[in-house]
Amino acid sequence: MWRVQLGGGARRSESRSDFMLLTITSTHRPATELGYLLAKHPDKCQTFSLAYGEAHVFYPVVTEERCTAALLLDFDPVGLVRGRRWGQHSEGTLAHYVNDRPYTASSFLSVAIAQVFGSAMKGVSKARQALADTPLALDVCLSAVPARGGERLLRGLFEPLGYRVDVQRIVLDEAFPEWGEGNCFELRLRADVRLADLLTHLYVLIPVLDDQKHYWVGDDEVDKLLDKGAEWLSVHPMREQITLRYLRHRRGLFRDALRRLMAGDDPVSEEREAEKEQEEEALERPMSLNDQRLGAVLAVLRDAGATRVLDLGCGEGKLVRVLLKEQSIAKVVGVDVSMGSLERARERLKLDRMPEIRRNKVELFQGSLTYRDNRFSDCDAACAIEVIEHIDASRLGAFERVLFEFATPPTVILTTPNVEYNGRFQSLPAGRFRHRDHRFEWTRREFQTWCTRIAERHGYAVRFLPIGVEDAEVGAPTQMAVFQR
C-alpha cells in the first residue's frame, strides 16, 4: 500500500495510489500528550475514509521526550477524475491522469486536517484543555508542497506567523537526476504555537500554496476563510495575496473577504461587538472602573513626564480623548487592529470638527501589536489598556518583542482584568470572562510573573498597581503594570 520514509520526502509507492505525508512532532514533555490533543491514540494506526481516498493517522515516534504524529493521505487519483469530485466543469483530459497533485500537499490535505483533527483545530481537548490552550514546541514536516513562488513565498507566508522555516526543493525523481527539480518543496516549520493555531494556519495556507488548481471555491469559502483565518489574517503582511489565492482569483469573493477582514467585521458583527462592549461596561459601571483606570493611567503618564504617548489597542479612543485635554501632552497616537473601532474613535472624537491645533496632536492608524512597526518607536510612553487579554496567548511573545525589544518606549503601561475579582461581580456567571472576546484573564500572580520576566529580559523595572476598590482577599478588579527603563 504505502511506504513511509521518515525525514524524507514523499515517494511514489508501488501501487496506483499515492500519498502525501504530514508529520507533527511535539517535544513538550510528556510529549505523548500530543495524542490527547489530536484525540488519536499513539498506540494505534487509524484509517479514515475521505471522499477521494483514505487518511491514516499513526505515530512513528512515541517517547516522553519526543512524539510524532503522522497524517498520511492515500489518494486514488484516477478515481478522483472519474468521479469528477473536483468541480462541475473539469474535463477528464490526460492532464488529470498525469499530474503531480496526489504527491503534493493540496487543498485535499486541508480537508483531511479539518476532518481528522477537527476538535484539535478548534482548540478543544476533553482530556487536556489546558495543554490545548498552551503554545507547545512543535515541529511540522510536509513531505511535498507545491509552491509557485518558491522558497520566498513559503517564507513570506509562514515567517510572519512566527515559524522558523526550512525549505528543500525536491528532485523530481532520484533515479533520474537529469530530470531536474520540480516546483515541490519539503517544508519544515518550527514554532512555539498552540496546536489549534498551527492546524488553522496549515488549513488556510496550504490551498494558498496550491495556487494552480483549487477545487472547493464557492461562496461559503469566504465564510470559511474568515472563520479560520480572520484574526491573524487581517494583520498578515501578505493578506491580499493569501485571500486572492485562497479564493482562486475570483475578484468578487476576494473583495468581499478583504472588505470584511479590513473592516474588522461586517455590519452584523459590528453590532455584536458594540453589544459585547456594553455588557462589559454594564458589569463594571457601578464602580466607574473605566474612569478610575483612565485616571490611574493619566497619573502615571504625568508622573513620568510623558509628552508623546502611544495608545496601543486604542479601541474607540477613550484614553486618546483624555490625553488630548492634557496640556503637557504634545502627541497622541492611537493604534488598533480593527478598522471598525478606529472609525468609531474618529466619530466619537469628532476629529473632522476639531480645531486644527488639537487635531494635529492626534494620529490614528491601523496596525497590529504583534508585528514589528517602526511607527511604534517614536514615543516616550506606550499604553495598552485592557488589550493583552484580547491577544491569543500564543501571540503574547510576539507582542512582547514588538514592544520591549523593538519599540522600547521609556515607559510602558499595561492594564488587564484581575480574574480573582470576577466572583465579586454579581451579574457575572461563575467561570465566565468579563468580555466574550477575552482569550484569557489572569490572576495577580500570573500577570506579575509574566511582566516580571519581560522586565528582566529587556532591562526594565516594573511595579504593579491596583485599580478600583481593593478587596482584602481577591485584590482590585483591574491590575496595572508600569514598566520603566
Which residues make up the interface to ligand SAH (CB under 6 A)? 313-315, 318, 336-338, 341, 368-370, 385-387, 390-391
Nearer of residues 214 and 390 to ligand SAH, judged by Cβ: 390
Q: How far apart (Å, rounded) are the C-alpha atoms in residues 211 and 149?
A: 10
Whole-angstrom CA distances from 359 to 324, 331, 350 are 9, 10, 10
Nearer of residues 172 and 235 to ligand SAH, judged by Cβ: 235
Q: How far apart (Å, rounded) are the C-alpha atoms in residues 419 and 397?
A: 21
Nearer of residues 48 and 450 to ligand SAH, judged by Cβ: 450
The total of other beta-carbon atoms located within 10 Å of residue 262's CB is 15
Q: Whole-number minimum distance, CB 209 to ligand SAH, in Å?
A: 25
Q: Whole-number minimum distance, CB 335 to ligand SAH, in Å?
A: 6
Q: Whole-number minimum distance, CB 160 to ligand SAH, in Å?
A: 13
Q: How far apart (Å, rounded) are the C-alpha atoms in residues 155 and 173?
A: 25
Nearer of residues 28 and 318 to ligand SAH, judged by Cβ: 318
CA 476 to chain centre: 31
Nearer of residues 224 and 435 to ligand SAH, judged by Cβ: 435
Q: Whole-number minimum distance, CB 79 to ligand SAH, in Å?
A: 44
Nearer of residues 71 and 261 to ligand SAH, judged by Cβ: 261
Q: Whole-number minimum distance, CB 372 to ligand SAH, in Å?
A: 12
- Are 73 and 108 in contact by the 8 Å Cβ rule? The answer is yes
Nearer of residues 170 and 329 to ligand SAH, judged by Cβ: 329
Q: Whole-number minimum distance, CB 367 to ligand SAH, in Å?
A: 6
- Are 334 and 320 in contact by the 8 Å Cβ rule? The answer is yes
Residue type for position 174? E
What is the rounded end-to-end Cα distance, in angstroms, of the chain? 62
Q: How far apart (Å, rounded) are the C-alpha atoms in residues 342 and 315?
A: 7
Q: Whole-number minimum distance, CB 387 to ligand SAH, in Å?
A: 4
- Are 73 and 112 in contact by the 8 Å Cβ rule? The answer is yes
Q: Whole-number minimum distance, CB 8 to ligand SAH, in Å?
A: 38
CA 384 to chain centre: 19
B/e letters for 368-399, b = 16+ CB within 10 Å, e = fewer, are bbbbeeeebeebbbbbbbbbbbbbbebbbbbb
Q: Whole-number minimum distance, CB 311 to ligand SAH, in Å?
A: 7
Nearer of residues 109 and 407 to ligand SAH, judged by Cβ: 407
Before 30, cis peptide (omega within 30)? yes
Residue nearest to ligand SAH (CB): 315
Burial (CB count <10 Å: 0-12, 13-18, 19+), residue 134: middle
Nearer of residues 10 and 314 to ligand SAH, judged by Cβ: 314
- Could you identify the residue written with the cell 495608545? 311
- Are 70 and 59 in contact by the 8 Å Cβ rule? The answer is yes
HSE-CB for 285 with a 13 A CA cutoff: 8
Q: How far apart (Å, rounded) are the C-alpha atoms in residues 382 and 419?
A: 24
